[in-house]
Structure 1
Amino acid sequence: MSDDLKKILYVEDVSSIATVAVMVLEDLGGFEVRHFLSGQEALDALPEFAPHLVLLDVMMPGMDGPEVLRRIRQLPGGRDLPAIFMTAKAQVHEQDEYIAMGALGVIVKPFEPISLSETIRDMWTRHISAAA
């Protein structure tokens, strides 16, 4: 795994939220972001895009974020792919469940657009430091 976070695969079914997040992650954060409206689209694109991090909404129709992460973990190279959940469903016990699934952290919606990139970088840096 690279220590440098550049490519983020983002799964969010609400277009208005995704538009804001992608804009700030690309324009302010300098990330290359690929956004998908569904978990299946993201899973299909994952091997070709080869992201450094997956950013997942929790509540989505069809396949929720935790299920997307479970399926990523079954793919070649997906077992250790870092993931962060973004959700309004963020009671303490729920956040604990997401962390137990292997997520680096949870970003609570509504999120602060100006600090989104910094929040993600902070979680990434803690992850890299812990792995070293």
Structure 2
Amino acid sequence: MTAKRILLIDDEDDIREVAQASLEMMGGWEVLTASSSSEGLSKAESEQPDAILLDVMLPDMDGPTTFQKLQENPRTSQIPVILLTAKAQAADKRQFAALGVMAVLTKPFDPVELASQVAATLGWSL
């Protein structure tokens, strides 16, 4: 069976490194990374990952706008997206969930739990 592929879009090097290591070691998945929305949109289209973890606060284009662009593109509209955010307020989470994302995970996340949270959200087995 081919390993699932996840695209992680986050501008913070530390977050990308920790999340990538966590998802690869705990989930056994291949993790692609992008440090900006524009790079992430391009990789999502060319690489066709099984899921996308998308930071809400990015310098070039915020997460909700990036998600909207993913939805508008027929090549990426079916890829499930999970938002990562430091904005953990209930109202923020409701607003993000209303966009149609699969889930909203808060930062800082527990690297030991991240893969199981992603797997549970997407219905994947570990």
TM > 0.5: yes
Would the aligned equivalents of 1:13 and 1:37 in 2 still touch at CA under 8 Å?
A: yes
Match of 2:34 in 1: 36
CA contact (8 A) 2:3 2:30 kept: no
**Shift of residue 97, structure 1, vs aligned partner:** 1.2
Q: Give me the whole-angstrom Cα distance separating, in 2, the residues matched to 1:88 and 1:5.
A: 29
> Which aligned pairs between 1:88-127 and structure 2 lie closer than 5 A?
88-125=86-123
8 Å Cα contact 2:45/2:76 also seen in 1? no
Q: How far does the alpha carbon of each residue in 1:27-76 deviate from its partner, in whole angstroms, 9 at most, with x for none?
A: 22111111100000011111221111110000111111111100000111
Could you list the structure 1 runs, at least 4 aligned residues long, displaced by more than 4 angstroms after superposition: none
In 2, Cα distance between equivalents of 1:58 and 1:93? 14
Q: What CA RMSD, in Å, does the superposition of the two structures yield over aligned residues?
A: 1.6
Q: Which amino acid aligns with 2:60?
A: G
Runs of 5+ in structure 2 lacking a partner? Answer: none
Q: Within 5 A, what are the aligned runs for 1:1-132?
A: 6-125=4-123
5+ residue gaps, structure 1: 127-132
| TM-score of the aligned structures, taking structure 2 as reference length | 0.91
2:44·2:76 contact (CA, 8 Å) conserved in 1? Answer: no
SS of the equivalent of 2:123 reads: helix
Letter in 2 for 1:81: I
Provide Cα deviations, 1:101-129, integer angstroms capped at 9, x if missing partner. 11111111110000100000001119xxx
For residues 5 and 52 of structure 1, what CA distance do their matches in structure 2 show?
A: 10
Measure the CA separation in 2 of the matches of 1:69 and 1:76: 13
Q: Count how many residue pairs are aligned between Structure 1 and Structure 2.
A: 123
In structure 1, C-alpha distance between the alignment counterparts of 2:29 and 2:96, rounded to whole Å? 24
Structure 1 residue 77: deviation in Å?
3.2
